[in-house]
């Protein structure tokens, strides 16, 4: 068939591609492309009608030019015309062009939809397949609205070919993920379930993916799928590898279908029908038995497929949590993997066993592997596997092994990776509190924790120690004695000083009878640490001193001398100065009774959830072992000393301020509300300058316009009756160039036209801006251009201010706007596979590296607009990475002159609540904070 071979060859396209590849420079390539574009344009506009082959060839060339990065603004109609061709190759190219170049707002969308409808109605399986692929590739709301009602009919029609059914199922899945509101549930749902019995395993695989997604939101509609899924799974599991030759992968029959069926079953509780339940149990036992059989192949593909089915079966067993025999067998099977040479298997085994530890049936079986897990903690080279080992130790902990596990965690903490130290500290603190039979052990453990990893002991941990000590009379004397001894070390962590100051201020009298810990010795010991501490800790120690005045009147004079010293009364920090003045005055004029009343011992704190547990949940996210632990039926012990309220010292006599709250309660840190220009270093010069005028405050609407430019580079930045400011900018790595266009909208000249870029001192060190002065006279109706060359030295939080001053008709005009040079402009998108993304995500688990914001949607929650904004923000939009298809995941690298900062983002929309949760993880705290601020404003 010569026509077909001619169509397949497209020699003109091959020659054009060859010419492009042979170009020696970018200029030569552009010249060749422009020549070709002119030729194609003339052919399309010519009098002579083009045949299908020529149209296809020229449309292919346009597609290739577009893929090279050039804009294409014609040829769309010719591509649409190709859709009406009866030749497969021509129709294929038409659909390919439309999938890549035509957006959902195009005027041609109606013509395209008509062509797709014709192909869907043609009953030609090849043409129907092309149409379905196009719908899925575009996946817009318009496509969903037009075809979501038609595709289910094709899917369940009796005369539809298997290949078309596969495409229809996956196309419907794509539309449901992007626009679930346009996919109506109806009679077809009961019929699509029966596709699980289809003879063609490809159809079954596609249908299972569709049903699983639909069942997650509409479980009642698809509950009949359970028995069919069990039946199909049973047939696959019991079949020999030769029975399913086309779908056997390295001697494992239909592994991916098996995994999908097992995942579908996890959408539902255990089957109520005894026969179905028994058949499912047999399937799961068979899978566990096959795992014990010797491998049929030494190739890694065989073990991967076999283990994929096994781990999904174990997930289903854990999900049902109703068969003690299966749970114990699963635990034993995972125990064998704990010492496997394959790192990924060890990781998955530890992760699955964390969940098994929460079941009352398998908890004891998990505990038998404690020595293996402890050994993994000590010897494992991969940090992510060590982190899972810590999680498993935490999950298997109970009263019988708490002291052993806490001791091992403390030993590991001394050499642990910095990224997981804070998490280990939180877990040790929770376990020590929860399973403390003897509270002296608890106090010793927490003080040891502060000694080993003081920098990672958050405020919640030492708040909690104080709460428990105050609530339990039997441990107060021991705690006072222990912290007193700990403070005698030459170098103490500041958190230990805080705990010591608080406890001695409350209970120092309990050890004052010992001459080795007399009141004066206690005071001198604390005061020796005073000058080495930060302002909040010094403020707490001053409160301890005034407590000592009440507890130990014999050292009142010594304490008053300290409070009266210039270093306190004239302290540069207003909070310390105020405390010293007030406490000195209180100790001087107040009677003994008043002092005793004002400075009385703290009352017990009310019972609440442990703040440490709350912090760990927040850090690890929902559905982790910290949540699962709460449903352990075996654990019936209460949280010891379960109190939450944060301790407040007697410092309430002081005026509230950001640091008045000794333990960081209540008061939020103050943020400067001054306009950006007030921070600029140039303003001080301006005040004394004869030539420069005072910089105006930001123009109304400047912030809104600034926010709009975060995800785009071109547009109008500012406009009033006199002046229009337009921007066009481009960025690559840490360099950028911005063209600023000043347009005079009047018929009168602007005189002394002076635009000035203003940067704060801090911004000047992070951003290098170079610009040339513009003509001081702008004629009426004219436009002048200013070029700004940008170099990002290091990350920055602020934006430059563009101040424009000129005279119009004798009147002085002074306008200031924020120039949209933001940190995300120096993003370079990075494509990542799912495994690489989540591996990097876990590496960036330090609290300082993560910034999260939950906020109400300000704009309609449109999937396509959201994708466009994330791409416009600068990161790569990673498809099919997040397990939840409704979420958006991105990755990129911020390029600065001094460093490169990897950035990962995750946006989770909640359509019902009309809210978003945005999580940014980068290797630098300030970058996470700034990017989170910028992106949150876009939705």
Dihedral sign for Cα 623, 629, 633, 637, please.
Answer: negative
255-265 and 201-217 helices cross at what angle (nearest 10)?
A: 20
Hey, which bits of 21-95 come out as E strands?
none
**Known binder of ligand: residue 12?**
yes
The secondary structure element, H or E, covering residue 151 is helix 151-156
535-551 and 574-589 helices cross at what angle (nearest 10)?
A: 10
Separation CA 879–CA 180 (nearest Å)? 18
- The CA–CA distances, whole Å, from 488 to 314, 457, 497 equal 53, 20, 11
Who contacts 821 (Cβ-Cβ below 8 Å, separation ≥6)? 736, 738, 767, 769, 790, 799, 800
Torsion of CA 836, 842, 843, 844, to 10 degrees: 110
3-state secondary structure 200-224: CHHHHHHHHHHHHHHHHHCHHHHCC
- The CA–CA distances, whole Å, from 802 to 218, 231, 503, 816 equal 54, 70, 54, 6
Separation CA 261–CA 204 (nearest Å)? 10
CA geometry: angle at 808 spanning 805 and 813, to 5°? 35
**Known binder of ligand: residue 726?**
no
Ramachandran angles phi, psi of 770, nearest 5°: -125, 130
**Known binder of ligand: residue 61?**
yes
Ramachandran angles phi, psi of 244, nearest 5°: -120, 60
Evaluate whether 79 touches 97 at the Cβ level (below 8 Å). yes
Separation CA 234–CA 866 (nearest Å)? 42
**Known binder of ligand: residue 53?**
yes
Task: List the beta bridge partners of residue 813.
Answer: 806
Who contacts 836 (Cβ-Cβ below 8 Å, separation ≥6)? none
- DSSP summary character for residue 926: H
Neighbouring CB atoms inside 10 A of 783's CB total 13
In terms of DSSP H, where are the helices of 488-565? Answer: 494-507, 519-530, 535-551, 556-564
Evaluate whether 670 touches 658 at the Cβ level (below 8 Å). yes
Separation CA 111–CA 81 (nearest Å)? 9
* Rg over CA atoms, the chain: 35
Separation CA 225–CA 223 (nearest Å)? 5
**Known binder of ligand: residue 59?**
yes
The secondary structure element, H or E, covering residue 811 is strand 811-818
In terms of DSSP H, where are the helices of 574-661? Answer: 574-589, 592-598, 611-620, 625-628
Tokens of 185: 């549930």
Evaluate whether 820 touches 710 at the Cβ level (below 8 Å). yes
611-620 and 459-471 helices cross at what angle (nearest 10)?
A: 150
The secondary structure element, H or E, covering residue 177 is helix 162-178
Give the chain's end-to-end CA distance (angstroms, integer).
55
C-alpha 698: how far from chain center: 33
**Known binder of ligand: residue 502?**
no
Strand pairing category for 801-808 and 750-758: antiparallel
- The CA–CA distances, whole Å, from 85 to 45, 111, 120, 474 equal 20, 14, 14, 89
Instruction: Give the strand order in the sheet containing 801-808.
Output: 750-758, 801-808, 811-818
Separation CA 757–CA 401 (nearest Å)? 65
Ramachandran angles phi, psi of 894, nearest 5°: -80, 120
Residues at the annotated binding site? 11-12, 43, 53, 57-61
């Amino acid at each position: 068939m010569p026509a077909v071979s001619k169509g397949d060859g497209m020699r003109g396209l091959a020659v054009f591609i060859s010419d492009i590849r042979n170009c020696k420079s970018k200029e030569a390539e552009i010249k060749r492309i422009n020549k070709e574009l002119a030729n194609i344009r003339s052919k399309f506009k010519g009098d002579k009608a083009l045949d299908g082959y020529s149209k296809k060839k020229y449309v292919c060339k346009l597609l290739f030019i577009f893929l090279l990065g050039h804009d294409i603004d014609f040829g769309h109609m010719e591509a649409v015309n190709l859709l009406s061709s009866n030749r497969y190759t021509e129709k294929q190219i038409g659909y390919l062009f439309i999938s890549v170049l035509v957006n959902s707002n195009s005027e041609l969308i109606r013509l395209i939809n008509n062509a797709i409808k014709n192909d869907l109605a043609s009953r030609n399986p090849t043409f129907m397949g092309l149409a379905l692929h196009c719908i899925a590739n575009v996946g817009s709301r318009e496509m969903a609205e037009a075809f979501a009602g038609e595709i289910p009919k094709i899917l369940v029609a009796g005369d539809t070919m298997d290949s078309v059914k596969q495409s229809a199922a996956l196309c419907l899945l794509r539309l449901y993920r992007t626009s679930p509101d346009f996919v109506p549930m109806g009679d077809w749902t009961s019929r699509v379930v029966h596709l699980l019995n289809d003879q063609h395993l490809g159809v079954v695989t596609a249908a299972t993916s569709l049903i699983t997604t639909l069942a997650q939101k509409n479980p009642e509609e698809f509950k009949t799928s359970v028995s069919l899924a069990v039946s199909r799974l049973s047939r696959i599991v019991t079949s020999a590898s030769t029975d399913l030759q086309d779908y056997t992968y390295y001697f494992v029959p239909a592994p991916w279908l098996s995994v999908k069926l097992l995942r579908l079953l996890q959408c539902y509780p255990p089957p109520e029908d005894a026969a179905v339940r028994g058949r499912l149990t047999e399937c799961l036992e068979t899978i566990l038995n096959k795992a014990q059989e010797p491998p049929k192949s030494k190739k890694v593909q065989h073990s991967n497929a076999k283990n994929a089915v096994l781990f999904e079966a174990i997930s289903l067993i854990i999900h049902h949590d109703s068969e003690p025999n299966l749970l114990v067998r699963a635990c034993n099977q995972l125990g064998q993997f704990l010492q496997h040479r394959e790192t990924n298997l060890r990781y998955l085994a530890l992760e699955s066993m964390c969940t098994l530890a929460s079941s009352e049936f398998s908890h004891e079986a998990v505990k038998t592997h404690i020595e293996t897990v402890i050994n993994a903690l000590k010897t494992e080279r991969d940090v992510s596997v060590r982190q899972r080992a810590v999680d498993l130790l935490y999950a298997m902990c109970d009263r019988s092994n708490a002291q052993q596990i806490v001791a091992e965690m403390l030993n590991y903490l001394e050499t642990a990776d910095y990224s997981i130290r804070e998490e280990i500290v939180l877990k040790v603190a929770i376990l020590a509190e929860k399973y403390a039979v003897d509270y002296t052990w608890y106090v010793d453990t927490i003080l040891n924790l502060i000694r080993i990893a003081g920098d990672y002991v958050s405020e919640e941990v030492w708040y909690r120690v104080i709460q428990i000590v105050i609530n339990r009379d039997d441990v107060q004397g021991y705690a006072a004695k222990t912290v007193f001894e700990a403070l005698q070390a030459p170098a103490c962590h500041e958190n230990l000083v805080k705990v010591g100051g608080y406890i001695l201020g409350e209970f120092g009298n309990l050890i004052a009878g010992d001459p080795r810990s007399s009141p004066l010795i206690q005071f001198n010991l604390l005061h020796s640490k005073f000058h080495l501490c930060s302002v909040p800790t010094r403020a707490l120690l001053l409160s301890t001193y005034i407590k000592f005045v009440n507890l130990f009147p014999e050292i009142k004079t010594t304490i008053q001398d300290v409070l009266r010293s210039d270093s306190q009364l004239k302290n540069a920090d207003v909070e310390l100065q105020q405390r010293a003045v007030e406490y000195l005055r209180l100790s001087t004029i107040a009677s003994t009774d008043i002092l005793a009343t004002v400075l009385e011992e703290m009352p017990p704190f009310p019972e609440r959830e442990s703040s440490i547990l709350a912090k760990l949940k927040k850090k690890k996210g929902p559905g982790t072992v910290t949540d699962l632990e709460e449903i352990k039926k075996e654990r019936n012990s209460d949280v010891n000393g379960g109190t939450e309220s944060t301790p407040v010292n007697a410092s309430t006599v002081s005026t509230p301020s950001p640091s008045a709250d000794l333990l960081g309660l209540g008061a939020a840190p103050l943020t400067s509300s001054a306009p950006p220009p007030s921070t600029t270093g140039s303003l001080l010069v301006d005040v004394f300058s004869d030539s420069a005028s005072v910089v105006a405050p930001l123009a109304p609407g400047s912030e809104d316009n600034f926010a709009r430019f975060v995800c785009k580079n071109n547009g109008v930045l500012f406009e009033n009756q006199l002046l229009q400011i337009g921007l066009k900018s481009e960025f690559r790595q840490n360099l950028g160039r911005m063209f600023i266009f000043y347009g005079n909208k009047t018929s009168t000249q602007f005189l002394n036209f002076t635009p000035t870029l203003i940067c704060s001192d801090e911004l000047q060190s992070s951003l290098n801006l170079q610009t040339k002065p513009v003509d001081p006279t702008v004629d009426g109706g004219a436009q002048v251009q200013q070029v700004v060359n940008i170099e990002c030295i290091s990350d920055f939080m602020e934006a430059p201010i563009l101040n424009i001053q000129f005279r119009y008709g004798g009147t002085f005009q002074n306008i200031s706007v924020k120039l949209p040079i933001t940190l995300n402009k120096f993003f370079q998108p990075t494509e990542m596979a799912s495994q690489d993304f989540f591996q990097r995500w876990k590496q960036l688990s330090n609290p300082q590296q993560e910034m999260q914001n939950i906020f109400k949607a300000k704009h309609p929650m449109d999937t396509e607009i959201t994708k466009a904004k994330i791409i416009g923000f600068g990161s790569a939009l990673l498809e099919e990475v997040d397990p939840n298809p409704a979420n958006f995941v991105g990755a990129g690298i911020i390029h600065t002159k001094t460093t490169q900062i990897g950035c990962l983002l995750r946006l989770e929309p909640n359509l019902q609540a009309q809210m978003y949760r945005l999580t940014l993880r980068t290797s630098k705290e300030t970058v996470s904070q700034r990017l989170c601020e910028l992106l949150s404003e876009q939705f």
